Structure 1
Amino acid sequence: MAVEHNTKNYSVFQVAMNLTIACLISGAIIGGTYFITEPVTLQKNIILKNQAMKALVKDAESFKTVDGKKDWFVAQKDGKVVAYVVPAESKGFDGEIKMLVAVTTDGKIIDYDILSSNETPGLGDNASKEPFKKQFKDKKIEDLIVVKDPSNINNIQAITGATISSRAVTKGIKEAAEQVVEYTGGK
């Protein structure tokens, strides 16, 4: 018994038209979804950024962008500047370490947050954790020197096994503080 197949031959033009229509419909769906969700995403990003800055400068009431400075924010309380939150970047053991640093107008470190890094888990990534982080609180620019001597409490004690990461984070924070002091005149 022979089975008869009903085959239809499609021309190249018909296949191209079907693919074109499918692409147009898909594109319209993607475009419509983006149009609807993009404002919500932007608003959510602003909220997350404000929360991150609030975690760095706890007593600030508001954050405003700094004219002429990319990704710089001024933290204010009672209408007065209490700090600047600025981006910092430095080369670590395994690539760039990107941070957000909170600095007073006279260059003292308030806090920092590592936004991205590829440092070794359990070693270099400890630069984003206590007790390493707390060493920076209220440090002046001249005290931002990495040392391996635990008795030297005036400087930054390197993380055991992660000296390169310790130096990279310290360098990025120091450069951020220097930029703030240059911008404010240290006042």
Structure 2
Amino acid sequence: MAHDAHDDKNNSVFKITLNLVVTCFISGIIIATAFAITEPVAAEQRVKAKNDAMKELVKDAETFKAIDGKEGWYAALKGGKVIAYVVPANSKGYGGNIEMLAAVTPEGKTMDFKVLKHNETPGLGDKMVEPKFRNQFANKDPKDLEVVKVPTDKNIQALTGATITSRAVTKGVKEAVEAVAAYSATQKK
């Protein structure tokens, strides 16, 4: 029987295909196993980071309790009483979305905020995380959360060279404060 070169070619294509299938299958198992091991750790880290951020925003809080029906909202409790709400705040800045957590009193005044993620310009917009800018927000009513270029005692002075970022942060925090004020009004008996 004559040896057919065509059979050899088919045979080698089959072997290559089989090797690729086996390699992909093994790779898939390795990736799935790695994800199964690392994802719970990563999830735990995210929870810890959020808890640390909330504790930083409301230092007096003893515990934080998730609020039913309000995704990402937490009540900060001390002695069983709500002393603040910590809620997500988002706004579109110069470099894209700015993700924050805002701490708000039950009376609907700003306490503080923490930036979780941003793409603002280094040396300009990223100064929104510094105390000099952040401290302006403490104890403000929503109506006073307005960005101004000339300093006032009431409003938020824009960061030099980063008015868009300043407005974005202020808008995000203001919306969070207004949402908490509306929610808080429904909780009072």
Q: CA deviation at 1:127?
A: 1.2
- CA-atom RMSD, angstroms? 1.7
Equivalence for 1:176: 176
Equivalence for 1:130: 131
So what's the TM-score if we normalise by structure 2? 0.88
In structure 2, runs of 5+ residues without a counterpart are 1-7
Considering fraction of residues, name the structure with more helix: 2
> 2 CA distance for matches of 1:35 and 1:91?
34
> 2 CA distance for matches of 1:103 and 1:133?
14
> 1 CA distance for matches of 2:42 and 2:96?
29
**Residue 105 of structure 2 is aligned to residue 74 of structure 1:** no
Contact 2:66 2:75 in 1 (8 A): yes
So what's the TM-score if we normalise by structure 1? 0.89
Task: State the Cα deviation string for residues 74-104 of structure 1 (Å, max 9, x = none).
Answer: 1111111111111111122232211110111
- The DSSP-based 3-state class of the residue aligned with 1:90 is strand
Task: State the Cα deviation string for residues 136-182 of structure 1 (Å, max 9, x = none).
Answer: 111121211111222x1111111122112111111110000000011
- The DSSP-based 3-state class of the residue aligned with 1:67 is coil
Equivalence for 1:159: 159
Q: CA deviation at 1:70?
A: 1.4
**Residue 130 of structure 2 is aligned to residue 117 of structure 1:** no
Task: State the Cα deviation string for residues 94-123 of structure 1 (Å, max 9, x = none).
Answer: 322111101111111111011122222111
Give the length in aligned residue pairs.
Answer: 179
Equivalence for 1:61: 62
**Residue 181 of structure 2 is aligned to residue 185 of structure 1:** no
Equivalence for 1:3: none
**Residue 34 of structure 2 is aligned to residue 21 of structure 1:** no
What residue identity is the alignment partner of 2:129? S
Q: CA deviation at 1:44?
A: 2.1
What residue identity is the alignment partner of 2:41? V
In structure 1, runs of 5+ residues without a counterpart are 1-7
Report sequence identity in percent.
Answer: 55
> 1 CA distance for matches of 2:116 and 2:30?
33
Equivalence for 1:36: 37
Q: CA deviation at 1:133?
A: 0.6
